[in-house]
Amino acid sequence: MKINSRPFNYLDIPLFVAEEICGYTIYKTLSDLPFRIVEVDRISGSARIVLAPGAVLDYETVRQYSFEIAAHDCETGFHARRSVHSI
C-alpha cells in the first residue's frame, strides 16, 4: 500500500511565533509508527509527513494512526505546543 505525503504547516499550531522553523518533532502515540517529516521550508514552515521506505500501514487492524507534532524554532530551539494529527 502506498501512502501520499500530506502537507503540514506550523501555522496549524496556535500561539507559536518563530523567525524560522528548523524542523518538527513527531511524538508518536504508538511506538511502531514509521512517519518522518521531510523538506522543511525554514521561512514558511511547510513540510511533508511521509511514511518510511518499506513501511506498511495496516488499516484492517488500525482504523486511524494518530501522532502529535511540534515545530521548533531555529534560533531558540523552542518547541511549539503539540498538535494532534491523524492519517
| Residue 37 domain flag | yes
Q: What is the pLDDT along the chain (87 residues), one digit of tens a residue?
A: 444 555 655 555 444 455 788 888 888 766 567 888 887 788 888 888 888 888 888 888 888 888 888 888 888 878 888 888 888
| Residue 16 domain flag | yes
pTM above 0.85, yes or no: no
Q: What type of residue sits at position 49?
A: I
Number of Cα atoms under 13 Å in the Cβ half of residue 77: 0
Number of Cα atoms under 13 Å in the Cβ half of residue 82: 10
The count of domains in the chain is 1
Structure-block grid coordinates of residue 67: 501522532
Domain extent for 56:
6-86
| Residue 1 domain flag | no
Angle (CA) 63-79-19 rounded to 5° is: 120
| Residue 61 domain flag | yes
